[in-house]
Structure 1
Amino acid sequence: MYRMFRTFCRHTAILLALLAMPLLFSAAWADTQVEQMLENSVVKIYVTSKSYTSYSPWNADSISSSGSGFIIDGKRILTNAHVVADQVFVEIQRDGNPKRYQAEVQTVSHELDIAILKVKDERFFNKGKPLPLGELPDIHQEIMVYGYPIGGDTLSTTRGIVSRIEYLPYTHSGLSYQMIQIDAAINPGNSGGPAIAGGKVAGVVMQKAGGEGENIGYIIPAIMVKRFLQDMEDGKYDGFPELPLQAELLLSPALKKKYQLGEEQSGILINKVCANTSAEKLLQKGDVITHIDGKNIDDDGTSPLNSHKTIYFAHYLDLHQVGETLALDIVRDGEALKVELPLDKADESTYVFDQEPRYFIFGGFVFVADDTYDSCLSREDYDDNKEKDKQESVTISQVLAASSNLGFHDLSSMAINKLNGETFNTFEEFYKRLKTSTTPFIMLEDYSGYEVAIDRELAEQEHQEILKQYRIHRDHSAEIDGWDKELTKK
């Protein structure tokens, strides 16, 4: 009897295995199809870029690097902005094919670290299909990372899970947006590749954790990529809207009581409204923002993301386009009010990319221009600010030693406040006033009152010799050619 039972079990197992074989073959075939699609749709990106320093802005180092990208709708390649930042030449290549195709950057968002490439030879798209963008994955959902990390030329795959969904700074821009943390291995070269969950792109590989973190990587969520692509539908990139105020968390019961919030109310306290913005007419210091687009803001600044997760409230600002309005519920002096805030200005990173240095040399002094940071000032501080109209600053980045600048050879990083006793608002204004000066000495002054004197005639006499000594082929950036033509006509 026992032997008959064993025989029955063996035959049953064989029968079940035979019945299951079509399902196994079907799954294996599906996996093969996915792999083949990814092999043709995930590309390696070769980039030659320029690297400048403000210390010697006339010099540019050529740097070769690589990253990853993938095909999306519209015969476009999606990748990271940091992969193609400061690029001068871009090529893409498929897995298993030595041919490289020249590409160019169509649009870039350095804020979100996203870029779109167009391939000059559209025959490239005869193979490969656009990868579909998915939704926000669940915590602990399996995720696959595809790309071309250093150490090889073929497509690499790593597996992991979604660990967290956070609101954190993006390394490339320093600005904060939603991001997904995963535990799949990410290495240099993976940047710009797709992270796949449920057969769709859950996000774009962006960065790995610094410090001692192992197998901690971050991807740009597909929802943010969709937001970027929606921005681009009119052919123009507008960026992400700015919230022109500063606020603090309301974790203190005393603060909540002071600003007349009920026990069931929560929010964030506005402690500064930026001058000359749309918010100045609608909001004021002491207002408490309780809801954003109808979503409650807790006292720690978070709002519901889904039924069991929260995220920093500004995420819902990021989903808007510049030009739209943001719905805010506020409490002012104990009274509940509704505000429709126009979003008419884009937030900007203080980091600069894809721009050559703006500079000129005079008397061996190297003058470099920088855009001033548009900080949030209250109305009172703005009205008292003597430099409210200042758009650009000028710095002495180094001094090329010569007899005309004796005593200042060790000077560097001096921010100039005044030229011949007067302030200036732009680099152009500074340049034209210096070049048209007829005084024997050109006097420069920093914010502490430290002075630099340039013997004008001696500086002009030695100028060409200084350039020759230091092998400088160009003593100013391109925009100054136009300014010189204007000065010649006067």
Structure 2
Amino acid sequence: MQGKWKAKGWVLVYLAANLLLFIVLLSASGPVYATEPDNALKIDPGASIVKIEVRSFVYDYTKPWSEPRVQASSGTGFLINKEYILTNAHVVSGAKFIHLSRSNQEREFEGEVVFVAHDCDLAIVRAKKAEFYHGAQPLRIGQRPELGSEINVLGFPIGGDRISITRGIVSRIDMDLYSHSQIDQHLTLQVDAAINPGNSGGPAMQGAEVIGVAFQSLRGGENLGYLIPPSVIQKFLVDVEDGKYDGYIELGVISQDTRNPVLRRAAGLNQAGLASETGVLVTGIMPGSSADGFVRKGDVILEINGHKISQQGDVDLNGSRQPYSMVTDNLQNGARIDLLIWRQNSQQKLHFLARPTNVIAHLRQDYDNPPEYAIFNGMLFQPLNANLMRAAVSAWKDRPELLYRYSYFVRAGIYKQVDEDVVLSYRLGDRNNTYLDRYTRRIVSKVNGKAIRNFHTFLSASRSALDQGQKLVLEFRGEDVPLVITADADAESQARIQQFYGIQKMANQNEK
């Protein structure tokens, strides 16, 4: 018995020793790192990350006369210096009241918006009391992360009051639509870290540096989130250094690729010495843009700021192919742009300064102003802008000309005719406007024989005529018979319509 026990005891000691050796080896060389990964989080989140709670106004563009409803929402921000907190524009858009707090603080502080950039979905807010900044630690903006590198996304997503940290990798770097404005495209970082409501405005970190700002996710895409990269962040921060935000410049070139061999021959691109793989054909120029007055329709752009443009319209930027517009996307107002073009069978160099244009301003969502509208004889007129289109597009499927003019405003050259279209969007039923539905959802072209360019000229001409006791003769695109509104009918129906529909103001015009 004693010999057997000794043998079994030796076996147990042997097994225990080998098991201990296995555990030691696993701890030293397995996935439980002995040293911290380079991209591990190296900040105190409680000192830098800010929860932002907002009460904002939301307007109903289908009933533009109604009072705005108050919406409660929340997001995230982070300190970038001793005073400023960076977040998303959509977090604080239309804000009437802002509360700021860090997780290591016992109370909330009132905040205010300093700068808003709707075209790149960034904003800066600050606390109204210095006490908020006690113990705060600003974060440093780093460089664009490498494809496939690991990141940490910090924020206050809905469902809890404490900071959340999610991890993922950078899976794509590409130009994409910024959903806040519905029209602007800039560089984005796609990550497989979950970005949920409330995460917006929070930093994506590598070590102690911010490499992006969380701002949107893909509906229906599992764990697909998007970050605003450092280049866009830095462009915004430099822009506001003078105390105001100028916005993005607009190159203003409308172009098409030149992959078709017949097109290339017709444009003279088969000349000796001209690279066969380069060039985009200019099909239009936006008025007031950087290229206006320098680049012409029919030109072929071969290079932009030293970058060769392929037939498809992309360039090599830091080893990846990107649309050529990205070369100038982050330029500040007044920066120099250099083009090499093909014009009249010869190469020419062009130089001009970067500048913005307001020709597409109405195609961008407006979050700062109440809706513009006018009601004459119970007929509701509104500027055809992004807010109205978003609210009413489902009811306008039987008006293809309206959808076409909005969607192809630049491409079809509609901007040459008007600054923005004015639409008769709805009829508020009254005995003075029965049987006039044929005119609803149509675009006004003339007021008393005079062409209109925007809502302001429409409202001015209409008011002037009615105030003088004249009738309004409104012509519409796609409608042969004009709509006539007399001054007497408008005046007689006004009080009745206001009382029945609860309308305080029969018109609203924002200052430009």
TM-score (norm: length of structure 2): 0.81
- The more displaced of 87-96 and 134-143 is 87-96
Pairing partner for 1:58 from 54, 57, 65: 65
**In 2, are the aligned partners of 1:181 and 1:218 still within 8 Å (CA)?**
yes
**In 1, are the aligned partners of 2:334 and 2:354 still within 8 Å (CA)?**
yes
Q: Which residue of 2 aligns with 1:421?
A: 449
Q: Which residue of 2 aligns with 1:168?
A: 176
Q: Distance in 2 between matches of 1:266 and 1:443?
A: 53
Q: Which residue of 2 aligns with 1:187?
A: 196
Q: Which residue of 2 aligns with 1:451?
A: 482
Q: 1:280 to 1:26 in 2, by over 3 A?
A: closer
- In the TM superposition, what is the alpha-carbon distance from 1:422 to its structure 2 partner? 2.7
SS in 2 for 1:67: strand
Q: Deviations over 1:306-347 (max 9, x none)?
A: 2x3222221111121111221112233443332212223347
Q: Distance in 1 between matches of 2:333 and 2:251?
A: 11
Pairing partner for 1:43 from 50, 57, 61: 50
Q: Which residue of 1 aligns with 2:297?
A: 285
- The more displaced of 388-397 and 162-171 is 388-397
Q: Does 1:136 align with 2:152?
A: no
- The more displaced of 99-108 and 245-254 is 245-254
SS in 2 for 1:204: strand
Aligned positions of 1:305-316 closer than 5 A: 305-306=317-318, 308-316=319-327
**In 2, are the aligned partners of 1:54 and 1:368 still within 8 Å (CA)?**
no
SS in 2 for 1:129: coil
Q: Which residue of 2 aligns with 1:356?
A: 370
**In 2, are the aligned partners of 1:265 and 1:290 still within 8 Å (CA)?**
no
Q: Which residue of 2 aligns with 1:303?
A: 315
**In 1, are the aligned partners of 2:200 and 2:216 still within 8 Å (CA)?**
yes
- The more displaced of 230-239 and 141-150 is 230-239
Q: 1:7 to 1:86 in 2, by over 3 A?
A: closer
**In 2, are the aligned partners of 1:260 and 1:333 still within 8 Å (CA)?**
no
Q: Distance in 2 between matches of 1:33 and 1:446?
A: 63
Q: Does 1:337 align with 2:348?
A: yes
**In 1, are the aligned partners of 2:156 and 2:164 still within 8 Å (CA)?**
yes
Q: Which residue of 1 aligns with 2:422?
A: 394
**Aligned residue identity for 2:303:** H
Q: Distance in 1 between matches of 2:320 and 2:239?
A: 27
- In the TM superposition, what is the alpha-carbon distance from 1:400 to its structure 2 partner? 2.0
- The more displaced of 66-75 and 407-416 is 407-416
Q: 1:101 to 1:260 in 2, by over 3 A?
A: same
SS in 2 for 1:405: coil
Pairing partner for 1:273 from 282, 285, 304: 285
Task: Provide structure 2 residue ranges, at least 5 long, that are not aligned to the other structure.
Answer: 1-9, 386-404
Aligned-residue RMSD, C-alpha: 3.5
Q: 1:40 to 1:447 in 2, by over 3 A?
A: same
Q: Distance in 2 between matches of 1:425 and 1:11?
A: 83
Q: Which residue of 2 aligns with 1:430?
A: 458
- The more displaced of 139-148 and 119-128 is 119-128
- In the TM superposition, what is the alpha-carbon distance from 1:44 to its structure 2 partner? 1.4
Q: Deviations over 1:354-389 (max 9, x none)?
A: 1111223332222323569895589xx7xxx8x847
Q: 1:417 to 1:25 in 2, by over 3 A?
A: same
Q: Deviations over 1:379-420 (max 9, x none)?
A: xx7xxx8x8474454332322222222223686433222223
SS in 2 for 1:57: coil
Q: Which residue of 2 aligns with 1:405?
A: 433
Pairing partner for 1:91 from 88, 95, 99: 99
Q: 1:470 to 1:313 in 2, by over 3 A?
A: same
Q: Which residue of 2 aligns with 1:442?
A: 472
Q: Distance in 2 between matches of 1:99 and 1:58?
A: 38
- In the TM superposition, what is the alpha-carbon distance from 1:455 to its structure 2 partner? 3.8
**In 2, are the aligned partners of 1:399 and 1:410 still within 8 Å (CA)?**
no
Q: 1:389 to 1:325 in 2, by over 3 A?
A: same
**In 2, are the aligned partners of 1:415 and 1:447 still within 8 Å (CA)?**
yes
Q: Distance in 2 between matches of 1:278 and 1:224?
A: 19
Q: Distance in 1 between matches of 2:450 and 2:25?
A: 91
Q: 1:462 to 1:333 in 2, by over 3 A?
A: closer
**In 1, are the aligned partners of 2:155 and 2:199 still within 8 Å (CA)?**
yes
Q: 1:273 to 1:444 in 2, by over 3 A?
A: closer
SS in 1 for 2:141: coil
**In 2, are the aligned partners of 1:44 and 1:94 still within 8 Å (CA)?**
yes
Q: 1:274 to 1:469 in 2, by over 3 A?
A: closer
Q: 1:429 to 1:72 in 2, by over 3 A?
A: same
Q: Does 1:260 align with 2:291?
A: no
Q: Does 1:115 align with 2:123?
A: yes
Q: Which residue of 1 aligns with 2:501?
A: 470
**In 1, are the aligned partners of 2:204 and 2:212 still within 8 Å (CA)?**
yes
Q: Which residue of 2 aligns with 1:226?
A: 234
**Aligned residue identity for 2:503:** I
Q: Which residue of 2 aligns with 1:485?
A: none
**In 2, are the aligned partners of 1:96 and 1:154 still within 8 Å (CA)?**
no
SS in 1 for 2:154: strand
- In the TM superposition, what is the alpha-carbon distance from 1:479 to its structure 2 partner? 5.2
Q: What is the total number of aligned residue pairs between the two structures?
A: 466
- In the TM superposition, what is the alpha-carbon distance from 1:429 to its structure 2 partner? 3.6
SS in 2 for 1:289: strand
- In the TM superposition, what is the alpha-carbon distance from 1:88 to its structure 2 partner? 1.9
- In the TM superposition, what is the alpha-carbon distance from 1:32 to its structure 2 partner? 8.3
Pairing partner for 1:217 from 219, 225, 238: 225
Q: Distance in 2 between matches of 1:243 and 1:278?
A: 5
Q: Which residue of 2 aligns with 1:487?
A: none
Task: Provide structure 1 residue ranges, at least 5 long, that are not aligned to the other structure.
Answer: 481-490
